[in-house]
């Protein structure tokens, strides 16, 4: 194991010299130095200066079970000793792969009974993209290949997944999107709803799907992909009218639904899957993150009987990853699912923790700078705004105020992320009521310090 005996500045210098960070302005970070996280337990991180930080983001939306579960470490060590690796390409399988596939099929709703394993959520969405196109081609419809997705959706960082995603900053680098992907607008009522009621707006945004299908031609559209609740886009919760209307449209045109459950899956929304919470019936679910609570990298495409049957009977599916169903990752995921189930963590998150967090989170809405407190299960967001009645943005560039708030959170030993000027949380599902109290206390303090800073810096201006 790597131990940390060096002073923080020395570790930061090595990091700056050699480590390129994801989604980061490298030079800027290198000049300032990254915070070095050295250990974690429960919902707390410890850094190299000994600070204890409440992790309101469960790592990166993934440590559902909380940090420090010895059982997962033991299972990993045992599996490494017994069978550290074997592939599943050439007519072989292994116990962790088949056991985990069966367990996932039991947990997944409806006829989602088949699992294709991947190394991550991005990999899983690349799998899904190829799978839905192959599904139609195998039935004599090779031109039915466009996948519709949403602006400000997030589906990962590989060429396929980032193309499916609707992050314009990502599309601007590296020649994206790839062909055959079309985007529609997101159901974000607070920012884009204008004078419509949320219900009217939900229907209007869903009907953009219908308009796009008509424009492209239903015989050319393979699938629609969406997160049940957008995560990286800012925890955008669609109006209640949205998903029922989407369901109607998909059924009408015989278009597959891929639910990207990478964040929502495995308890985040208070049920095992976000599709259950939001009333969706997907043909494929993308999962990763919470599947192993982040203790090992693994993703799973969970596939319906209908799709699996066509793919299985169409000869070789020419797709796969060396680490598909990696035995160590699969064993860790299985142990994670056992604990989530047997300790009633998912059930408690939905029935007890979510309502408690909701009351506290909505309480932050009493602050003069906070509007649109939104929460589903244990994922929540709020808008920082200079005028909540008008749902106004700040005049400063989006993210200016959000970044100040994130820094104030960090300074108060709370990890809360910002997306533009929205603040978001997604804490470990095991967070206790007293830890939620502390989270809300620190969040209020950080928001209030941000408010002071915004006033002092002359940023309290409406767009
Ligand atoms: C994180 C995420 C992904 C990508 O998963 P990686 O494991 O980072 O590749 C895909 N979809 C959603 C909704 C995500 O939040």
Q: Which residues contact 105 (CB under 8 A, 6 or more apart)?
A: 112, 113, 114, 115, 302
The confidence score (pLDDT) of residue 392 equals 97
Going from N- to C-terminal start, the domains of the chain cover 35-68+344-456, 71-342
* Residue of 289, 302, 333, 381 best suited for mutating to test ligand 1, as the one with most atoms within 8 Å of CB: 289
* Residue of 121, 128, 153, 264 best suited for mutating to test ligand 1, as the one with most atoms within 8 Å of CB: 121
The tally of CA atoms less than 13 A away on the side-chain side of residue 413 is 14
Tell me the pLDDT tens digit for each residue of 261-312. Answer: 999 999 999 999 999 999 999 999 999 999 999 999 999 999 999 999 999 9
Tell me the pLDDT tens digit for each residue of 333-387. Answer: 999 999 999 999 999 999 999 999 999 999 999 999 999 999 999 999 999 999 9
Q: What is the CA(375)–ligand 1 centre distance, in A?
A: 20
- Nearest atom within ligand 1 for CA of residue 123: 9
Average pLDDT, the chain: 97
| Residue 122 Cβ < 6 Å to ligand 1 | yes
| Residue 321 Cβ < 6 Å to ligand 1 | no
The confidence score (pLDDT) of residue 153 equals 98
- Residue 351: is it exposed, middle or buried by C-beta count within 10 angstroms (0-12/13-18/19+)? exposed
In this prediction, residue 3 has a pLDDT band, given cuts at 50, 70 and 90, of low
The confidence score (pLDDT) of residue 2 equals 58
Tell me the pLDDT tens digit for each residue of 222-264. Answer: 999 999 999 999 999 999 999 999 999 999 999 999 999 999 9
If phi > 0 it is left, if psi is from -120 to 50 it is alpha, else beta; for residue 150 that is beta
Instruction: Name the pTM for this structure.
Output: 0.98
Q: What is the CA(128)–ligand 1 centre distance, in A?
A: 13
Class of domain 35-68+344-456: alpha beta
| Residue 156 Cβ < 6 Å to ligand 1 | yes
Tell me the pLDDT tens digit for each residue of 30-51. Answer: 999 999 999 999 999 999 999 9
* Residue of 234, 263, 292 best suited for mutating to test ligand 1, as the one with most atoms within 8 Å of CB: 263
Above 80 in pLDDT, residue 187?
Answer: yes
CATH (residue range 71-342): 3.40.640.10
Q: What is the CA(426)–ligand 1 centre distance, in A?
A: 14
Q: What is the CA(154)–ligand 1 centre distance, in A?
A: 7
221-226 and 256-260 beta bridge pairing: parallel
- Nearest atom within ligand 1 for CA of residue 260: 13
Q: How far apart are CA 123 and CA 152, in angstroms?
A: 19
The confidence score (pLDDT) of residue 4 equals 59
| Residue 427 Cβ < 6 Å to ligand 1 | no
- Nearest atom within ligand 1 for CA of residue 261: 13
| Residue 261 Cβ < 6 Å to ligand 1 | no
Q: How far apart are CA 152 and CA 382, in angstroms?
A: 17
Above 90 in pLDDT, residue 418?
Answer: yes
Q: What is the CA(463)–ligand 1 centre distance, in A?
A: 32
| Residue 233 Cβ < 6 Å to ligand 1 | no
Q: How many CB atoms lie within 10 A of CB 52?
A: 11
Can you tell me the mean pLDDT for 167-195? Answer: 97
């Amino acid at each position: 194991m790597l131990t940390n005996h060096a002073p923080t500045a020395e570790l930061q210098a090595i990091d700056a010299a050699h480590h390129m960070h994801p989604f980061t302005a490298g030079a800027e970070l290198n000049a300032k130095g990254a915070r070095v996280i050295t250990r974690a337990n429960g919902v707390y991180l410890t850094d190299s200066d000994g600070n204890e930080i409440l992790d309101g983001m469960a790592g990166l939306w993934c440590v559902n079970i909380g940090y420090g579960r010895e059982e997962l470490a033991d299972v990993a060590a045992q599996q490494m000793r017994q069978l550290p690796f074997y592939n599943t390409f050439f007519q072989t399988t292994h116990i962790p792969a088949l056991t985990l596939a069966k367990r996932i099929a039991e947990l997944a709703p409806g006829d989602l009974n088949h699992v294709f394993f991947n190394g991550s959520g991005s990999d899983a969405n690349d799998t899904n993209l190829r799978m839905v196109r192959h599904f139609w081609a195998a039935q004599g419809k090779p031109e039915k290949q466009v996948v519709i997705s949403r602006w400000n959706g997030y589906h990962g960082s590989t060429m396929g997944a980032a193309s499916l995603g609707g992050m314009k900053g990502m599309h601007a680098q590296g020649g994206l999107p790839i062909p055959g992907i079309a985007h529609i607008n997101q159901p974000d009522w607070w920012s884009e709803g204008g004078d419509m009621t949320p219900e009217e707006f939900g229907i209007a945004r869903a009907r953009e799907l219908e308009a796009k299908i008509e424009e492209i031609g239903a015989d050319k559209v393979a699938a629609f992909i969406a997160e049940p609740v957008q995560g990286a886009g800012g925890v955008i919760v669609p109006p209640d009218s949205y998903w029922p209307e989407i369901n109607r449209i998909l059924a009408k045109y015989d278009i597959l639904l891929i639910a990207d459950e990478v964040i929502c899956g495995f308890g985040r929304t208070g049920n095992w899957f976000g599709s259950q919470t939001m009333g969706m019936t997907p043909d494929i679910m993308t999962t990763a993150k919470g599947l192993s609570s982040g203790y090992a990298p693994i993703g799973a495409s969970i596939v319906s009987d209908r799709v699996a049957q066509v793919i299985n009977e169409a000869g070789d599916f020419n797709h796969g990853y060396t680490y598909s169903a990696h035995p160590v990752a699969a064993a860790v995921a299985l142990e994670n699912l056992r604990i989530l189930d047997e300790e009633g963590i998912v059930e408690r998150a939905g029935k007890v923790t979510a309502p408690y967090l909701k009351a506290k989170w909505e309480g932050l809405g009493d602050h003069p700078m906070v509007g649109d407190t939104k929460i589903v299960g244990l994922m929540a967001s709020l808008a920082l705004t200079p005028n909540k009645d008008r749902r106004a943005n700040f005049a400063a560039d989006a993210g200016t105020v959000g970044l100040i708030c994130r820094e104030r959170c960090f300074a108060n030993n709370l990890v809360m992320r910002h997306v533009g000027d929205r603040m978001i949380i997604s804490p470990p599902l095991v967070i206790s009521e007293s830890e939620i109290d502390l989270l809300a206390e620190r969040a209020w303090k950080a928001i209030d310090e941000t408010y002071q800073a915004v006033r002092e810096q002359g940023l309290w201006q409406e767009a």
